[in-house]
Amino acid sequence: MNKQLNRLALVAVLMLVALIVATTYWQAWAAGSLAAKQDNAVELVSQFQVARGLIFASNGKTVLAADRRVKRNGQSFYFRRYPSHGLAAQTLGYSTSALSQTGLELSLNDFLTGSTTNLSNAIQRTLDRLGGGTVYGDNVTLTIDAGAQALAQQLLGNRCGAVVAMNPHTGAIYVMASSPTYDPNLIDKPGGYSKVLKTTGTCGGSSALLNRATDGLFTPGSTFKMVTAAAALDSGAFTPTSHFVDPGYCEEYGKKVYNAGNPDQNGPESYGGVTLAQGFEHSINSVFCNVGKQIGAKTILEYARKFGFYATPPLETPANQRVPSGLYKNNKLWFPKDPVTEVDPGRLAFGQFTMVATPLQMLLVGATIANGGVVPRPYIVKRVIGHDGSVISRTRPTTLGRAIKPQTASELTQMMISVVQGGTGTHAQIPGIQVAGKTGTAETGLNHVYTAWFVAFAPAENPQVAIAVVLEKQLNGFGGAVSAPIAKAVLQKLLHR
């Protein structure tokens, strides 16, 4: 009988060996793919065992995101709270107890949970975990200026729009405000999310969750004349003193396109003989229409591309919360195969046609002119600091390449100074500081309802701050009248004047 018993013993041992093999499979081989499963409740909960890193404004004091510790069953869990109640809400995003994440909370998750660290941190974290201690995520300091950000949000009020400001040399974002906005603390509260969804601002039917600064596309209107003028000057086709005759309209395809349709223009309907610089100062459509006809849509679009159009602007926020600017067709970015026949160059030149841009993109145009023709690479994370104080990462400013010659940039700067000194943008004047700017008032298809723009930088001779302001669906609201004062106030705040 012993022979059978030995065989039975072998079967029993093999069964137990199979269990060890299977355990090894799940804990070593398949562990990674299981951890990545959507419905993995254990991994979801384990994220809340990490004391999520804090998020600070650039002063290192204003806390934008912090933790709330909850003890349950003898274990500590950390949930998010937002002490600044929605300062830069859409940029910051949120992280809820169901682990629904948006904004920087989503894109910086690996830092905030301490998953992306150097070796010594990784060892420390493992020891913390085994010792039952709390694992701390890395703290993030943004480039956001808390005071200016709050001011911009306050000035936007419940109007729909956005304010973006940056250092034109480094690309550091000082302000990224979008309105309507919301309090991220609400998201996790019962009924809070639907309350946020119902926040639509004065423009109606629009989401407070949308980051208009990077995810909102607006017709740039006359602010696009910066791009057209840059193309005209940089290509050598025109100079600021090039002469034009403005009869009050521009003739295209045998039809007259009247300046009267341009709400951004100030002064008389027909200026007569003007220079290119004057046409820019007073935002005369006929002048730019003729520029467009002469240099062609292809040249304008190529320069637009150099300024960053047709590419999703780089930033630390999630890629799906940023969109590229350019011509759109059927809600899709569209670069014409044959710009000569497919694009109306006159209308494109003054920023109508199907051209749409994000506030961040128009800011990059202004910042590039302020930066001597080089496009700064925008960034919003200043540095990431481990819980032990060690520097995990520090952002080094870089550029996205040169768009225009320094000479062109300085000519455009002069033209933009004129806009604020005596043109369409006089509401942006700051005593003692030279401001350079460009207004834009784009038609929306509704009578007397406009998208009001202002793009500026200051001080003009030594630019420290560039800014773009957009307000949606403004009834009789012109860029120079409604957006320029916001730009002025935020510039003053950022320049401490």
Partner 1 sequence: MGADALTLSFRNRELAYLILVGVLTAVGFASVYIARKSHVSAASLTYAIFFFVLYLAAHVVARFTVPSADPYLLPLAGLLTAIGLTEIYRLGPANAFKQGLWVVIGVAVFAAALIFLRQDYRLLENYKYLFGLGAIGLLFMPLLPGIGQTVNGSRLWIHFGGLQFQPGELGKIALIVFLAAYLREKREVLAQGRVKDWGPLLVIWGGAMLVLFATDDLGGALLYYGIFLAILYAATARLQFVLVFIVLFLVGSAAVYQGTPHVRERVVNWIQPWTTHKVHCALNGQMTLRQDCASYQEVQSLYSIAHGGYAGTGLGSGLFTTAQGHPLIPYLSTDFIYSALAQELGLIGVSALLLIYMVFVLRGFRVSLAANDGFSKLLAAGLTFGFALQTFVIVGGILRVIPLTGITLPFVSYGGSSVIANFLVVAGLMLVSDRANR
Residues that bind partner 1 (CB under 8 A): 1-9, 11-13, 15-20, 22-28, 30-31, 34-35, 37, 39-43, 45-46, 48-49, 70-75, 77, 79, 97, 129-132
Residue of 222, 242, 283, 286 with catalytic role: 222
Residue 463's φ and ψ, nearest 5 degrees, are: -60, 130
* Nearer CB in complex with partner 1: 131/254: 131
Of 100 and 426, which has the nearer Cβ to partner 1?
A: 100
Residue 131 or 431 with smaller CB distance to partner 1:
131
Shortest distance in whole angstroms from residue 6 CB to partner 1: 7
Q: Which is nearer to partner 1, 73 or 330 (CB)?
A: 73
**Min separation Cβ 4 and partner 1, Å:** 4
Structure token digits, residue 400? 């996205």
The residue (of 12 and 391) whose beta carbon lies closer to partner 1 is 12
* Closer by beta carbon to partner 1, 134 or else 354: 134
Active site annotation includes 207: no
Kindly compute the dihedral angle of the four CA atoms of residues 395, 400, 403, 409, in this order, to the nearest 10 degrees. Answer: 0
Q: Which of 111, 319, 288, 321 is nearest to 207 (CA)?
A: 321
CB of 29 to partner 1, least distance (A): 10
Q: Write down the least CB distance from residue 193 to partner 1, Å.
A: 17
Task: Provide, rounded to whole angstroms, the least separation between the CB of residue 7 and partner 1.
Answer: 8
Strand partners, 376: 399
| Residue 109 beta carbon to partner 1: minimum distance, rounded to whole angstroms | 16
Which residue's CB is nearer to partner 1, number 37 or number 448? Answer: 37
Query: At its nearest, how many Å lie between partner 1 and the CB of residue 140?
Result: 22
CB-based contacts of 251, cutoff 8 Å, min separation 6: 257
Question: Which residues are annotated as catalytic?
Answer: 222
